[in-house]
Amino acid sequence: MVILIRATWDDEAKVWTTESPDLPGLVTEAESLDALDAKLPALIHDLIDGDESEGAEYVLASFSKRVSRSSRTAEQSHPQTEADT
């Protein structure tokens, strides 16, 4: 059994959060990916039947999304050169 787990940084709370399409109910958070990784085996064991959790492999994938906006003025888009003046 392979369980895909997505870890996402919550900038407001300053923690990593998890979710998994393969294991509904697997939701946790931690201040670092290492701390998150340390929590996962016990959580996985609690959420699936004992026999199935033995030897279960999981993949922790972290994604970071950054959205930024900028606007350019006409001057920034086409800076004047000495030849233009």
**Which domain, by its residues, includes 11?**
2-63
pLDDT of residue 71: 60
Higher-confidence position of 69 and 10: 10
Give a yes or no: residue 81 inside a domain. Answer: no
CATH of the domain at 15: 3.30.2390.10
Contacts 24+ apart (CB under 8 A), 4-8: 4/58, 4/59, 4/61, 5/40, 5/58, 5/59, 5/60, 5/61, 6/61, 6/62, 6/63, 7/33, 7/36, 7/60, 7/61, 7/62, 7/63, 8/62, 8/63, 8/64, 8/65
- Dump pLDDT digits (tens) for 40-55: 888 888 888 755 656 6
Give a yes or no: residue 14 inside a domain. Answer: yes
Please give the tally of structural domains in the chain.
Answer: 1
